Amino acid sequence: MNFRDHFAQTAATVETLTRNGETSLTNYYGERSDFLRFNKSAVRQPGSVTDIDVTVDLIAGKRRTSTSVRLTGTKDEDATRLHHAVAGARTALDGAPDDPHLAFSREPRSSEHVAQAAMPSKAQAVDAIMRTGKGRDMVGIYAAGRVAYGFANNLGQRNWHESDSFNLDWCFYYAADKAVKANYAGVDWNDRELDRIAGDAAKTLPLLSRPVKTIPPGGYRAYLAPSALHEIWSWLGWGAFGIANHRTRATPFLRAIDGTGELDRHVTVKENTAEGLAPGFQADGFVKPPCVNLLSGGAYADCLISPRSAVEYGVKTNGANEGELPQSIDMAGGTLARDRVLKELGTGVYISNLWYMNYSDRNNGRVTGLTRFASMWVENGEIVAPLGVMRLDDSIYRFFGSELEGLTAERDFIIDPASYGRRSVDSMRLPGALVGDFRFTL
């Protein structure tokens, strides 16, 4: 399947079906993925998915409707499906009320991003996992292949974003809930690089064989590795930075906005589209700026503003997606050298991963969640024992504010392995964080 040619053909078909006085917006998603799920170093569910999902928005005057349809890659069948989709959208338009927040790009800005690469064959993928898991308890998922996003309208705009990538996301388990999490993601598969990452991860396994350290609830010095911060930002990003969250006073950064809560001045976070993996355009045809400052020097800065919200709140859009969620979070690093983290931590908790974040009190930026995988108890700069699972309950104004002692200079680029409906194109670039007092409750 050549998604690019198929997109061009789809856009042309929709344009032909669009009548005078109508505007059509076509959003195209193509995916060809291999998924290889494994457990206990054996194959659990191997398979492939080929998917083409096209959404046509039809606009007449101030009315708009949206119709999505799966296409097949077969010319005649797809032409028939698009004809029915557009005809159905036109019928729906007849009864639709005016949309007071109607917004779409009227100034064509076309773009193209193509990053093709050779992916491992089915046999290579299975062999690599069998080799890596040999003698170990390895569980996880390998996902690889092409995803393609396209936007077209009948004003002549065409945007195309196509990339090939792989993401091998797994754990080596010691026993029960004690495991080391690892990930190998990228575009150029290299067996030796996989072996290196797997070898590094395996070095932690002997530490997990030590008796588990159980600590009572309370405040502890803590180091949060980049993968732990990834869990925090994945949660906070959901509802923190959209202008709708800001204007309806639903963001967890409410106290920072009102001036009743302070973040540390070293906390700087931006939506870095230029260095992320997500497309640089959105579903209404607006092109995203390279960067939007979300938190700057500890202060709440700019919001992500979708075209609809821009009309609703009378501001200018910055090309955010409909949900106003960040896709390419970039948190500035600090001066703490990663190889000094344990020494600087002294005695406390090394949190490799967090899990299942949510709110204890959203107005106060208070969140909860749990330690996971190879989180460790550290004494005098040395790892002593794996940590029994602990529940945190603390505020962003403490761990990103009064209790933040430092951010690492080195940052990790974390490619989201999620695949709800589609393979994610989200990513984050994050440091680790040293926190003077981190609260656990259970």
Helices (H) and strands (E) in the chain — how many of each? 11, 22
Q: What angle do CA 205, 208, 210 make, to 5 degrees?
A: 130
- Contacts of other proteins in 303-342 (CB under 8 A): 312
**230 lines the binding site for other proteins (CB under 8 A):** no
Closest to other proteins by CB, 158 vs 372, is 372
Closest to other proteins by CB, 139 vs 336, is 139
**5 lines the binding site for other proteins (CB under 8 A):** no
**14 lines the binding site for other proteins (CB under 8 A):** no
**357 lines the binding site for other proteins (CB under 8 A):** yes
Choose, by CB under 8 A, the member of 60, 187, 197, 250 that binds other proteins.
Answer: 250
Whether 373 and 405 have beta carbons less than 8 Å apart is answered as no
Q: N- to C-terminal Cα distance for the chain?
A: 52
- Contacts of other proteins in 121-160 (CB under 8 A): 122-123, 126, 130, 139-141, 143
Choose, by CB under 8 A, the member of 42, 274, 315, 337 that binds other proteins.
Answer: 42
- Contacts of other proteins in 56-95 (CB under 8 A): 57, 64-74, 77, 81, 85, 88-89, 92, 95
User: In the complex, what is the shortest distance from the CB of residue 261 to other proteins, in angstroms, rounded to a whole number?
Assistant: 8
User: In the complex, what is the shortest distance from the CB of residue 408 to other proteins, in angstroms, rounded to a whole number?
Assistant: 25
Choose, by CB under 8 A, the member of 49, 187, 197, 383 that binds other proteins.
Answer: 49
Whether 174 and 205 have beta carbons less than 8 Å apart is answered as yes
| Residues 6 or more apart in contact with residue 31 via CB below 8 angstroms | 49, 50, 51, 52, 145, 146, 147, 148, 422, 423
Residue 342: alpha-carbon gap to chain centroid? 28
String marking each residue 184-223 x if it binds other proteins according to CB under 8 A: ----------------------------------------
User: In the complex, what is the shortest distance from the CB of residue 30 to other proteins, in angstroms, rounded to a whole number?
Assistant: 10
Task: Give me the helix-helix angle, 3-17 and 75-95, nearest 10°.
Answer: 40
**248 lines the binding site for other proteins (CB under 8 A):** yes
Looking at residue 274, what DSSP letter applies?
A: G
String marking each residue 280-309 x if it binds other proteins according to CB under 8 A: ------------------------------
**46 lines the binding site for other proteins (CB under 8 A):** yes
**421 lines the binding site for other proteins (CB under 8 A):** yes
User: Strand 328-331 relative to strand 427-430: parallel, antiparallel, unpaired?
Assistant: parallel
Token representation of residue 71: 């296409």
Q: Which helix (H) or strand (E) holds 198?
A: helix 191-203
Give how many residues touch other proteins by CB under 8 A. 94
Kindly tell me the sign of the dihedral angle through the C-alpha atoms of 76, 77, 80, 81.
Answer: negative
- Residue 36's DSSP bridge partners are 46, 142
Closest to other proteins by CB, 249 vs 343, is 249
**100 lines the binding site for other proteins (CB under 8 A):** yes
User: In the complex, what is the shortest distance from the CB of residue 159 to other proteins, in angstroms, rounded to a whole number?
Assistant: 21
C-alpha distances out from residue 193 to 102, 188, 198, 336, 392, Å: 49, 10, 9, 27, 35
- Contacts of other proteins in 368-407 (CB under 8 A): 368-370, 372, 389, 391, 393, 395, 397
Alpha carbon dihedral 190, 195, 201, 203, in 10-degree steps, equals -150
Choose, by CB under 8 A, the member of 44, 75, 131, 343 that binds other proteins.
Answer: 44
* CA–CA distance, 256 with 263 (Å, rounded to integer): 7
